[in-house]
Structure 1
């Protein structure tokens, strides 16, 4: 080989070596940058088994899941509490808008699951979903339960419906909670209860946002948006949805116990009783509408609460509708709002600082609103005798509030309903008492002094 040919080969080898070295340095630089980016944004490289992990793995799971959603036209929307909370933080939104690289800021959180809701009334169950999920490498666990919409005192054997779906991929989850529309025009989901044969290690069930109890929500308006490069629907007012979630616990009417009650004490189906129930239903719906517009939460109290808990109905001989409101939620325009709705004020007893009570006259049915005061380990509402100015106090153990349904209306009741009812009506609350004296009959009543005569014009107002 000539000297010229040798030099040409050496030059080519040198150039090739130089290019390989430069490429290697560039690759190492890229790997260094990727590791730096991964540590900041939660993405991880392939693990020893060749699987994606961290936020990147979760993003791929969500992409697979949303592909199923698109294929089967599933009416789902995001309800994950952590993701929706991130949306409400302006700083996070700003930071997200500044990032140029692929990232997963909202749907991929510190948890190994993301939660969506499925509108059950707009979806027909398709068994092909299971095969399609398997094709994408997704494991699917279905949770079924009784359909309370078909449960009644006439038929206690309601059929089962899908309540929850869990899609799993490499230990990461998408939890789908099914929301059904109830007769009160609200959305309901059932509890997540595993059958004995189910794998209790399939998901971190104790950490899931939905399923520890049944829940109730107003139907939210939905909007389509793009989060982390994926198209998802979210509640337009997600702040309100989060607020609803914090107090969403729902209690079913006790149909089985109500049926047993009516076997002992047959239901009054007289014209008078049926007429009263219809008027009471109308009054309850009207009161709910007025208070909802005002933003004042209320619950079923006294005889109305007893009727719901004992017999899933209004007590026909009660002659009124009873509601409870925390005194902290009192508004001065409550009276005006009810009068504007066609319910004149019948009486006003007490004052905001002590024993306030309002009564409005409906169509042959009275609406009584009792305001409750917080006093350490107990809560109480007051009563006043108009002719003497005597004060009375009705003491209850502390309680929280849950949703339920009565007369096709979503309403609140004390979650600890039996304790509440027993405090008011004693251990024999399950026995009807048609003769009732509000000053002496309640189990929890006690005398509470007398209003000074100089205050009567303010605290004893009868119309």
Structure 2
């Protein structure tokens, strides 16, 4: 009994303790809830006071948030819609293009892709043709393909526009429209060394920009090698080079009025023997510089001869080419060393100062001059275009009159120069010391070997008072290491 009584006493004590703990917990919980309610009430009152004082700012922020959220939703939906529409229009555009291609293929017309935008799209950016979207695409066709015109004009599915030359003597462009897709066929008029594409005489919508037909342009015959590679048209084999040449493809005419004046008033005529000696080496120089993708232009008296005489100046003794100094590299020297048509006779000047290559055929001299940049300008800062010289394409400044005015004086070049003419555009750049002269002149044999004979040494040493026993270098560049001059020369060279 005592044991049971003790257990009951302990149980009552435990229950009493538990009830006391629960009571304390309840009071704590009740107090916490009351505090929370008071906090919520305080927070609510604070918000009401804040809203009263800044209600316009709060409403504005809420409006901005809603506006941004709403626009994001609209943009997401619009993007999805635009992608769908773009894909739809791309499919429609390609279907229209292929429909025209299929029709032209039945007429056995070879389409040559010359459109620079599409060439860049396909071969530089390497994007698929099926996704291409452009209202107008330009292709070239040879002149013997214009027999398709009568067939096209009789086809009611197409709207065909013909562009004829200004004297109405030839057809230059054909525009084929179908379902708002425009295919432009530029007629390639073949010359000796290039195709000529004449400017269009058709008035086109203002939003259409032509890559060919905007002005007279040329494509070199060396670029006529087109290949067909899983596409319904032919493309240039070397697209990068084709696009490089396009930048200087604008074609300029010489001044026929001045040329007639040279013959009729001054009795200056073209010299056929001079032409035979000069034109082949010039073509070789043009070919090499274009192959190396070096910008060049006919310069000096050669440019004057083209513009004023529509040929050469008969009494000149050399041909001048200009190049940009920043494009120089040793490949130019390598191509002309021992060249069987026109070889490098001498490299005069330093690579970074007044460099000139003198080429020779055994009968005629051809000079390559490099134009250097000085601060923010340089001699001949012109864009380059193309011209015809005896049936062959050469590069010239796009502003030949400005160039000649700077070279010879304003309009002074329009009449033959006097024997005692003095150059007006000479500026002394610097004075070379003896060490510079040692490296500034290098002569070569017709086989491309550095000349180290007495003639070459005398050519160098005549400019200063030191004798040389051997030629120290042939790259026209001053060495980095210190140079010890040879002993003083005594006697006559």
Say whether the fold is shared (TM-score over 0.5): yes
CA apart distance, 1:40: 3.5
- Aligned with 1:118 (options 141, 153, 158): 141
CA distance in 1, matches of 2:180, 2:146: 28
CA distance in 2, matches of 1:67, 1:328: 48
Give the structure with the larger strand fraction. Answer: 1
SS in 1 for 2:127: helix
- Aligned with 1:453 (options 403, 417, 434): 434
Please state if 1:307 is matched with 2:322: no
Q: Is the 8 A contact 1:223 1:235 kept in 2?
A: yes
Match of 2:11 in 1: none
1:39 and 1:347, CA in 2 relative to 1: closer, same or farther beyond 3 A? closer
Q: Is the 8 A contact 1:280 1:314 kept in 2?
A: no
Match of 1:384 in 2: none
1:458 and 1:207, CA in 2 relative to 1: closer, same or farther beyond 3 A? same
Match of 1:215 in 2: 217
- Once superposed, what is the RMSD of the aligned Cα atoms? 2.8
Match of 1:431 in 2: 415
CA distance in 2, matches of 1:205, 1:177: 19
Q: Is the 8 A contact 1:298 1:325 kept in 2?
A: yes
1:144 and 1:341, CA in 2 relative to 1: closer, same or farther beyond 3 A? same
Match of 2:477 in 1: none
CA apart distance, 1:205: 5.9
CA apart distance, 1:41: 6.6
Match of 1:74 in 2: 109
- Aligned with 2:396 (options 413, 417, 431): 413
1:332 and 1:237, CA in 2 relative to 1: closer, same or farther beyond 3 A? closer
SS in 2 for 1:447: coil
Q: Which moved more, 1:70-79 or 1:398-407?
A: 70-79
Give the structure with the larger helix fraction. Answer: 2
Please state if 1:265 is matched with 2:285: no
Q: Is the 8 A contact 1:277 1:316 kept in 2?
A: no
Match of 1:12 in 2: none
CA apart distance, 1:423: 0.9
CA distance in 2, matches of 1:139, 1:341: 54
1:145 and 1:338, CA in 2 relative to 1: closer, same or farther beyond 3 A? same
CA apart distance, 1:327: 1.0
- Aligned with 1:40 (options 60, 65, 84): 84
CA distance in 1, matches of 2:208, 2:311: 35
Q: Which structure has the larger Rg over C-alpha atoms?
A: 2
TM-score by length of 1: 0.70
In the alignment of these two chains, the number of paired residues is 362
What is the correspondence of 1:135-284 to structure 2 with a 5 Å cutoff? Answer: 135-136=156-157, 138-145=158-165, 160-184=169-193, 186-194=194-202, 200=203, 202-204=204-206, 206-218=208-220, 219-227=223-231, 231-268=232-269, 273-284=271-282
Q: Is the 8 A contact 1:290 1:341 kept in 2?
A: no
SS in 2 for 1:419: helix
CA distance in 2, matches of 1:193, 1:131: 18
CA distance in 1, matches of 2:235, 2:126: 19
CA apart distance, 1:43: 4.6
CA apart distance, 1:432: 0.8
Cα-to-partner distance string for 1:196-230 (whole Å, 9 max, x where unaligned): xxxx4x53464222222221223332222445xxx
CA distance in 2, matches of 1:260, 1:159: 28
Cα-to-partner distance string for 1:315-347 (whole Å, 9 max, x where unaligned): 111111111111122222433432311445444
CA distance in 2, matches of 1:360, 1:292: 17
SS in 2 for 1:448: coil
CA apart distance, 1:417: 0.5
Match of 1:371 in 2: 370
SS in 2 for 1:268: coil
Q: Note the residue ranges of structure 1 that are not aligned, 5 or more in a row.
A: 1-34, 45-53, 97-103, 147-157, 195-199, 381-395
CA apart distance, 1:263: 2.1
Q: Is the 8 A contact 1:187 1:217 kept in 2?
A: yes
CA distance in 2, matches of 1:330, 1:75: 39
Q: Is the 8 A contact 1:162 1:178 kept in 2?
A: yes
CA distance in 2, matches of 1:447, 1:400: 26
Cα-to-partner distance string for 1:357-398 (whole Å, 9 max, x where unaligned): 121222321111111112245323xxxxxxxxxxxxxxx5x2
SS in 2 for 1:429: helix
CA distance in 2, matches of 1:461, 1:400: 32
Match of 2:151 in 1: 129
Q: Is the 8 A contact 1:78 1:235 kept in 2?
A: yes
Match of 2:131 in 1: 105
Q: Is the 8 A contact 2:110 2:233 kept in 1?
A: no
